[in-house]
Structure 1
Amino acid sequence: MQLSRDDLKRAYERMFTIRAFEERVEKEFSQGNIPGFAHVYLGQEASGVGVCFDLGDEDYIGSTHRGHGHCIAKGVDVKGMMLEIMGKAGGLCGGKGGSMHIADLSKGMLGANAIVGGAPPLAVGAALTQKYNKTGKVAVAFTGDGASNQGTVFEALNMAVVLKVPAIFAFENNSYGEHTHVSYACGAPSIADRVRAFGMPCEVVDGMDFFAVLEGMRKALEHARAGHGPYGLEIQCKRFLGHFVGDPQAYRTPAELAEARAADALPRFRDRVLEAGLLDAADFEAIEAQVLELVEAAVQEALVAPFPDPARDLTRDVYVRYA
């Protein structure tokens, strides 16, 4: 697979933005600047960016509780995200969605979701809209290995096949549903085998390799956009941190944590591109400097931004009224 220089830069910029943003979220949460819980996407950057790389604003994605990376991969504004995560009035959802319900419909990002397995049913509905309106667009559901056991996910897989909708199910298998290993929780030999049993193709890809994810996603897009119905991807990746920021991870050995870090997708991407002579070190340094400046600005603006006004905002956006 050969990408242009601009595409390679865009891919790395998105992955490094997720990395820098999530490291800063971890820091700000630890300092008490972020309310609620925070579930960061560190380690899974290649998965989200590979899946979303060829999607446009009119393609939909549904996310999980670990949704910041999916937002950035889909092109959502980083400053609006930080405002939202800190619960500030200028956030993407007015500061009332927070980390686990962050959304941006203008980018086709239907929202992070605290409901385990919440995205697949939503994606089927969104994909049915795409089919009905003959848009040629798709809907993608991000799901974890833990959520792959939910009954609503099974129903969504079956309905997607029955209705032959352009839905893509991206199962990010980082081996843990909260603190439980997939080998214990998943009765099937693999998530992909289970998905195939519903009557759709499902490919297993290396989620620590951007190019592998992109190649798998391009097959999925070709299949779905051609009117052949849904497609599944089991994206095998590694979570650097625990289920939530502050999780001591007593269920993982030091060797396993070191193995996850050693598989880091970002240096793997850099090394491959540098060896091929497609970009040089200065290109990567420029991207990183620009991203770090953006994230720092997002944090500083969010820290001093006002909170929502209860008198004005408490009941705003609670219900949607359709004409």
Structure 2
Amino acid sequence: MTSDIQPLQFSSKGAYLITGGTRVSRCGLPPASEREANDVDLNNLISRIAELKALGVNVRVLSIDASKAGADSTLRHAIDELDLPPVKGVLHAAGIAKYHSILRCILSEVADVLATKVIGGLNLDTLFPPGTLDFFYLVSSVGKLVGFEGQLSYAAQTLSWRVWQLIEGSRSNLATRIITKGMQYRGLATMSIEEAFAAWDRFASLETDHVVVVRALELEVDEPLRHPVLKYITPRKQATHNITGSSFSNYPEDAIAIVDLACRTAAGDTTEDFWQTLRQGKAGKMWGNFMSDVESFDHQFFKKSKREAAALDPHQRIMLETTYKAV
């Protein structure tokens, strides 16, 4: 990490609010007696909370819909009841998705998706006005930039992420697998958690109000670009060359490469003949173009018997003669 990068700083004397991200319902964590043993998402969340608490982190889960009217007052009251240190940062990751194209989407569905992001963000802004936080991030999907179906309502967020790789041991649901496959088709690869946080450290010190964080899929050398927006960041695999003998790097700096050219066409037996024909436009009105003296193959010079020379394809004889002229 270069010296000019100022990573995101957290204070042990502050609290940090994260909306969404639990992958459970807005009803909050159910009592232990009401939890289903086969609820993988809920069990993973509880396990992660336990790991954070083991590290000394105080984790509280609140059941509040940030998109509802008066959610700022409700959240303020709930935070005060918890007797926590002052909130120093907010990560607004809550959201819902309705996977419809613009032709099938109705206004109420767009409003529902925007409510969590926009109205929820406005409520948080009311609760934490400018100057009261160290950071305030609004998180969205990067799908809107690469044309992923159903993401038309996600265009107004400040921090657009590609899918992170899941924590080891957790299970991806069907929607996540579909999104991942669709993103790969558009040239986006998943990011590891380490890569995502490294990117976060980089943009935390940037003076910008909008950031897109993606990891482009590595393509073959001649593979078409998956999406125009990835033109300048898509990595390409190294081309493989079947070169026999010593590597170019083994040659001395003053080595000389000898390159020559020869051709034989209906215009003549030299490259100059061919070039003059092109310059003068001597195509003419002919019913065919024929090379002259195609039978004048010197079989003895090329160490071929008369019988072998006669059996050679005319193209092979001309190739032998032309190659000799080139070298």
Q: TM-score, normalised by structure 1?
A: 0.28
Between 1 and 2, higher relative CO (CA 8 Å, sep ≥ 6) is seen in 1
Q: TM-score, normalised by structure 2?
A: 0.28
